Amino acid sequence: MQLIASVLPTNATNTSVSWDSDNTSVATVSPTGLVTAVAAGTAAITVTTEDGRKTATATATVYVPTSVEMSNCDVGLPEEFGILEIHPNPFNPSTTIRYQLPVTSHVTLDVYDMLGRIVASLVNGTREAGYHTAVFGGSALSSGIFYARMAAQTQAGKGISRTAKLSLVK
């Protein structure tokens, strides 16, 4: 994350600052204020003005990732079109829809309610062959059953569609 320091007053003649992390095993900070996560934990990131030694501190909290996403590295390309998984499902307030394409295709991924009305358009464009994700947020919707429909049109003119059920529980 890039931090930005504002030196006041705005007409100050020396606006030079330095950055420091009190816990570099958790997060480091570059001379320009770019914070880089290293490991789970908390670090205080402090900026200090060169003129007057004034300081401001921000807390950086680094969380352990709960999942890892990969795209087309060492796993090869899928052999068929499909919606792979919707996780979590049931969900509240959002869920991630994973889908796969064996060839580059124009893709639409829409979410429908039980009456067949589109409540969200998540994807509408060309996607490369491989594995993809889209996030559906249902915070503005009532609890219920919804359907994710992926339609793909290949450059060779082949069209397919796949549908999967989602449950929003509030």
- What is the domain range of residue 118? 82-168
Both 158 and 103 in a single domain?
yes
Residue 145 placed within a domain: yes
In a shared domain, residues 45 and 117: no
Furthest C-alpha separation in the chain: 68
> The CATH number of the domain where 96 resides is what?
2.60.40.2550
Per-residue pLDDT of the chain (170 residues; tens, 9 = 90+): 788 888 888 788 898 999 999 999 989 999 998 888 888 888 999 999 998 898 999 888 887 654 444 444 445 688 899 999 999 999 999 999 999 999 999 999 999 999 999 999 999 999 999 889 999 988 889 999 999 999 999 888 888 999 999 999 98
Q: What is the pLDDT of residue 127?
A: 93
- 38 assigned to some structural domain: yes
CA distance 85 to 99: 7
C-alpha distances out from residue 98 to 27, 133, 148, Å: 31, 4, 11
Same domain, 98 and 25: no
- The total of structural domains in the chain comes to 2
Q: What is the pTM assigned to this prediction? A: 0.56
Planar angle of CA 39, 43, 47, nearest 5 degrees: 130
Q: Residue 36: give its domain's CATH number.
A: 2.60.40
Question: Do 97 and 122 reside in the same domain of the chain?
Answer: yes
Residue 37 has what pLDDT?
85
For residue 75, tell me if it sits in a domain.
Answer: no
The pLDDT assigned to 64 comes to: 64
Instruction: Count CB atoms within 10 A of the CB of residue 69.
Output: 9
Q: What is the DSSP string of 13-74?
A: S---EEEEES-TTTEEE-TT-BEEE-SSEEEEEEEEETTT--EEEEEEEEPPPS-----SSS
